[in-house]
Amino acid sequence: MSAECPYTPPPPPPPPPPAPPPPTPASSPKKKLYQTVGSSRGAVEGNLTEACVLLAQRESRVRRMAETRNRRKKKPGALGKRNKHFFRKDLQWILVNTYVPSLIQDGPQCGLVALWMSTHLRKPPLCVDMETVVRTALSRGYTAQGEMFSADHMALLAEEVCGCKAELLSGGIRGDNAAAIITHLWGRQPVLIPYDEDYNHEPCRRSGHRAHWAVASGVLLGVDQGSVSEAHTRPEPTLPWLYAPVDNGAPCPAGDAALKEVYVLAKQGKSLRYQLWSLDSIAASNEQLRTMDPKRANDGTQYVVPLGGVEAGLAGRVVMLHTRTEKQK
């Protein structure tokens, strides 16, 4: 018998080539700093809740600064009357505000976001989503990227999407216009205000290069003591020096000689929080809106700018929304 050769199996097949790497997901646009900060914070609801916190913070900040200055001068406890309070204690302070919801803008939509916020004060209520505001502005040719460089267009857009009267004021936020705005806010009605926005969102003067929109929904008035009847006001529990009207019948002191200081409570699309601005600062910012930022004007992007430019469209102009129906006035 012949010997059998042992069986040798064939070599294993080569391993398959590695699978191609998964496709790289499309990177989302990098968030702006204000979008990152805004998404990590929550809005504070309540007509006066956040406002009272804001006022208390202002007082506390000024007092700490005064204490620091006095420690450096080695005069502990010697806080002067002029610098230990942000709000003058020789005045009676009255706060009126109606809460508006917050929304962080996506791109240059500050005006459209401010309008969307203000629609929530309409009486009777009207549900308007942000997409409707943007779509309407685009279809009417008021905007190309979300920008609103015309107060006239803003007024027309507000009347269409909000179904209410929009009153356009020109000539600045002083004199009779200031009194009209104070009265409007006292009546719990919103005001849309264009201004130059500083890096902390407060009003500044950059000739319109940082043009921005905010909605004012409240007002803080400093009046001579005793000039407003106690029958129409009540003290705030958290701030005993602060008062609020007890009803809508309290007379507004706009135009009265007793009115000494005015601040507005406003929101804008780069923060979820209310901000407090002096009426003088927002007036100074509003009246000097002149030109678009040269970088924006030359970036190759299409914008809708009215005839006469930013100055003709925004300088000295505000939009007051009459959000109540005729039957409720």
Residues labelled catalytic? 110
d(CA 78, CA 61): 16
Phi, psi of 64 (to 5 degrees): -65, -40
Structural Rg of the chain based on CA atoms? 28
Contact 270, 103 (CB under 8 A): no
Residues 34, 41 contacting (CB under 8 angstroms): no
Closest CA to 260 of 309, 227, 234: 227
b/e for 230-243, b at 16 or more Cβ within 10 A? Answer: eeebeebeebeebb
